[in-house]
Amino acid sequence: MSRGKEIYFKAAALSLPLVFLCFIEILLRFFNYGFDPSLFIKDPDQQGYMMMNPTASYKFFSTSANATQGNRERFGIVKSKNTYRIFVIGESTTAGYPYMHNGSFHRWLQYRLMHQYPSLSFEVINVSLTAVNSYTVLDFAKQIVNYEPDLVLVYTGHNEYYGALGIGSTSRIKGNSTWIKLVIKLRELKLVQLSDRIIEATAKLFGKRIDKRENLMKRMVTNQQIPYQSADFNRGIVQFKSNMNELCQLLSKKHIPTVISTLVSNEKDLKPFISAGKFSAQKQYANGKKLYVNGDFKAAKTNFVLAKEYDQLRFRAPETFNQIIKKLCKQYPGIYLADTRALFEKNEVGGIIGKETILEHVHPNLLGYAIMSEAFYQQINNRNLIPAKKQSEMSFAQLLVNMPVTKVDSLYGAYQIMMLRSGWPFNEPITAYNRGNSIDEQLAGALAVDRITWRTAMDELYKAAMANADKQKALKVTEAVLLENPSQTSYYTYAGRLGFELADLETAEFYFKKAYDLEPTRGNANNLFLFYFKSDLPEQALQYDDRIKRSGQQSYLDAQTEEILKNIIKLKKEVPSNNINELIASYYHQLRADETAAKYRNKNSR
């Protein structure tokens, strides 16, 4: 056999296993085996929209039992005109735990921006997940760049050690970051997914089962003690710095404005989980408590921060992470800093973060999430990242009053935290709690044990509010559902009608206009026509009737009604008098707008 043929046959022999593996991969794909690793999929319930893939997290977890799912926030496959698209990436805090829906910081921000820039449609898509870290955040960022983002918001860092693929997690893969990223990529292959399932099934046969009675925090931790300045401690810092640097480099190069937040955690009101070795977390914490009571807040803060640093159970990010974040924001063009920590400190006595804004170790309460949204908003506002003029200004104080977070949301969050703190690593007994029998408490309780969905809870809350003629509460619930479904115009119409019935004309006009802007249909134009007509604004009413005609659709107005409205407009421009008021009142009476007619007759009786 010639030398050339020998080389050929050896190459063919070596390639046979590869050909066989490729054949198996194709076969598995043909039969749709395994999971889809894509971040987004087409929404099966609403044509023309994308949503976060429920299986997007699977490639980061060594077992599917621990894999988590995120929000279902839609965005258009084709980006519409006047649409501003914001992607939000991070961990459980970024997702809004324990409130998850309108308690989360991105919903506070969405509500505020929507009201300040009514000419824009905001798509705010939160792809954050519980129990992940910077590996997931970086991977998602690499996919997000392909979906026309106008802005990316990032809050991550607390899960760096125990989140999926973290140094101390059960899903840790030994090796450097290059190897870990390769494994993440390989898990997108069906063949690797099959081998993972075989390994997982084999482990179960030998008794290595995931105990789902344990909370996810406990299931994810394998190394409970990571001492300060130890090799694993430093590996976590290197891992975070490397991944965040790559993320910033990518988004800056793509010219995608990005705001990254500093991290906050409970310093004052959380005792260290594990104190051991030469760096005593407990000693620092005890000193901090004494100094705090004595009013020496500066020294107390130093001790509290050291107690957090020395705590060997690393559920709170080291101080170095905030330094890394600040440095990266200075280093890369288009990467901006939201100093959430500084804002939290302004809202705490002595600048020491505690239970006033944090629920347990890292998750904010409702005030905390509002403050977090303010930190991001300040950067968006100061950097002029939104290419439109504000039509109004909603102050932070107004936001706190207006934000549609229902009592059900608030109670649900309280129940979730109560259950979390009863397990490891808090191990706090559940205190006696009289839940009460109000509709809010019943729905929150059912929601907390997964007996109903959030949407069902809101539907029932709305029905109860309307049954009790509590239209203010019904409006709040409608606004809450609207934030969850910002592309569905029917909720804007409901909110507009409730606003009008409450004599809240500003709210009514805002929502009727939003419905028309999203869908300039004959019905939505007519809603605006009726609103302006009943609000004694006939000129604006006729403008929307004209829009109906210009669109080639049939007007709701007959010639006589249109003529009467034009007469009212003329009379309103004249010098007011009893005769003028009486004429306007008679015209409104002819149009069966007796409330408006009475308004003009009352002017004559003064």
Please say whether the beta carbons of 570 and 539 come within 8 A: no
Q: Is the pLDDT of residue 13 over 70?
A: no
3-state secondary structure 218-276: HHHECCCCCCCCCHHHHHHHHHHHHHHHHHHHHHHHCCCCEEEECCCCCCCCCCCCCCC
Q: Give the position of tokens 């924001």.
A: 329
- In total, the chain counts a number of residues equal to 606
pLDDT tens digit sequence for 264-313: 999 999 999 999 989 999 999 999 999 999 999 999 999 999 999 999 99
Phi, psi of 221 (to 5 degrees): -100, 130
3-state secondary structure 152-221: EEEECCCCCCCCCCCCCECCCCCCCHHHHHHHHHHCCCHHHHHHHHHHHHHHHHCCCCCCCCCCHHHHHE
Please report, as a single letter, which amino acid is at residue 587.
Y
Q: What is the C-alpha separation between 309 and 313, in angstroms, rounded?
A: 10
CA 310 to chain centre: 31
- The pLDDT of residue 599 is 87
CA 217 to chain centre: 21
Tokens standing for 232?
């694993």
- The pLDDT of residue 210 is 67
CA angle 584, 587, 591 (to 5 degrees): 135
Q: What is the C-alpha separation between 100 and 448, in angstroms, rounded?
A: 12
- The pLDDT of residue 55 is 95
Mean pLDDT of 420-425: 92
**Is the peptide bond between 98 and the residue preceding it cis, with omega within 30 degrees of 0?**
yes
Mean pLDDT of 333-361: 97
Long-range (24+ apart) CB contacts under 8 A made by 512-515 are 513/118, 514/114, 514/118, 514/489, 515/489
Whether the pTM exceeds 0.75: the reply is yes
Please report, as a single letter, which amino acid is at residue 528.
L
Q: Is the pLDDT of residue 386 over 80?
A: yes
What does DSSP say about strands 75-76 and 49-52: parallel, antiparallel, or unpaired?
A: antiparallel
CA 229 to chain centre: 34
